[in-house]
Amino acid sequence: MAEYSGVMVHAEAEEGKLAAIATELLGCGRRLADDLGEELSAVIVGSGVSNLAAEAFASGADKVYLVDDALLQDYQTDTHVPAVEKVVRQAMPRILLLGQTSIGRDLAPRLAFRLETTATMDCIELDIDPGSKRLRRTKPVYGGNARAVFTSELDPQIATVRTKAMTPLAPDTSRKGEVVNVAAGLDSSKVRTRVLEKVKQEVEGISLEAANVVISGGRGMGGAEGFKQLEELAKMLKGAMGASRPPCDNGWVPDVLQVGLTGKIVAPDLYIAVALSGSSQHMAGCSGCKNIVAINKDPEANIFREARFGVVGDWKKVLPAFSAKVKELLAG
Amino acid sequence: MNMIVCVKQVIDPEAPPSSFRVDEAGKKVVPPAGVPPVISPFDENAVEAALRIKDVQGGKITVISMGVNLLREVVKKPLSMGADELVLLEDEAFAGGDSWSNARALALAIKKIGVYDLIFCGRQAADWDEGQVGSGIAEMLGLPGVTLARKIDVSDGKARVEQVTADGYEVVEVSLPALITVSNELGEARYPTIKGIMAAKKIEPIVWKPADIGLEPEQAGAAGRKIILQKLYQPVHEGKCEIIEGESPEEAGAKLALKLREAKLL
Ligand SMILES: Cc1cc2nc3c(=O)[nH]c(=O)nc-3n(C[C@H](O)[C@H](O)[C@H](O)COP(=O)(O)OP(=O)(O)OC[C@H]3O[C@@H](n4cnc5c(N)ncnc54)[C@H](O)[C@@H]3O)c2cc1C
Ligand SMILES: Nc1ncnc2c1ncn2[C@@H]1O[C@H](COP(=O)(O)O)[C@@H](O)[C@H]1O
Q: Where are the domains of chain B?
A: 2-224, 236-266
CA gap B88, B70 in Å, rounded = 8
A282 lines ligand 1 (CB under 6 A): yes
**Site to substitute for ligand 1 among A296, A303, A315, most atoms within 8 A of C-beta:** A296
Distance, CA of A284 to CA of A298 (rounded, Å): 21
Q: What's the CATH fold of domain A213-331?
A: Rossmann fold (3.40.50)
Q: What pLDDT is stored for residue B238 in this prediction? A: 73
Instruction: Give the N- to C-terminal CA distance of chain B in Å, as an integer.
Output: 57
- d(Cα A56, Cα A175) in Å, to the nearest integer? 9
Q: How many CB atoms lie within 10 A of CB B114?
A: 7
Q: Are A119 and A112 in contact (CB under 8 A)?
A: yes
Q: Residue A230 and residue A217: Cα distance in Å, rounded? A: 7
List beta partners, residue A17. A14
Q: Does A143 touch chain B (CB under 8 A)?
A: yes
The nearest alpha carbon in chain B to A279 belongs to B17
Report how far apart, in Å, the C-alpha atoms of A293 and of each of A236, A267, B244, B255 are.
17, 14, 10, 13
Is A117 an interface residue toward B (CB < 8 Å)? yes
Task: Answer whether B134 contacts ligand 2 (Cβ < 6 A).
Answer: yes
Q: Which pLDDT score, from 0 to 100, does residue A284 have?
A: 96
- Would you say the CB of residue B135 lies under 6 angstroms from ligand 2? no
Q: Are A229 and A323 in contact (CB under 8 A)?
A: yes
**Residue ranges of the domains in chain A?**
7-190, 213-331
A238 in contact with B, Cβ within 8 Å: no
What is the predicted pLDDT for the residue at A148? Answer: 98
Return d(Cα B185, Cα A158) in angstroms, integer.
28
Predicted local distance difference test score (pLDDT) of residue B192: 96
User: For the domain A7-190, what is the CATH superfamily, name and number?
Assistant: HUPs (3.40.50.620)
Residue (of B188, B189, B186) closest to B150 by Cα position: B186
> How high is the pLDDT of residue A332?
83
pLDDT at A1: 58
Q: What is the pLDDT of residue B94?
A: 98
Confidence (pTM):
0.97
The series of mean pLDDT values per 10 residues for chain A, 332 residues long, is: 92 95 98 98 97 98 98 97 98 98 98 98 98 98 97 98 98 97 96 96 90 98 97 97 98 97 97 97 95 98 96 98 97 88
Helix residue spans in A92-190 (DSSP H): 102-114
Task: State which residues of chain B have pLDDT below 50.
Answer: none
- So what's the pLDDT on residue A2? 77
User: How long is chain B?
Assistant: 266
Listed by number, the residues of chain B in 140-159 with a beta carbon closer than 8 Å to a beta carbon of chain A are 140, 144-148, 150
Length of chain A counted residue by residue: 332
Q: Tell which CATH classification among 3.40.50.1580, 2.40.280.10, 3.40.50.450, 3.40.50.620 matches the domain B2-224.
A: 3.40.50.620
pLDDT of residue A111: 98
ipTM: 0.97
Residue B127 near residue A140 (C-beta atoms within 8 A): no
At B212 the pLDDT is 98
Which residues does chain A have within 8 Å of residue B125's beta carbon, measured at their own beta carbons? Answer: none
Q: What angle do CA A8, A13, A15 make, to 5 degrees?
A: 170
Q: What gap in Å lies between CA B61 and CA B55, rounded to an integer?
A: 11
Structure confidence at residue A203 (pLDDT)? 86
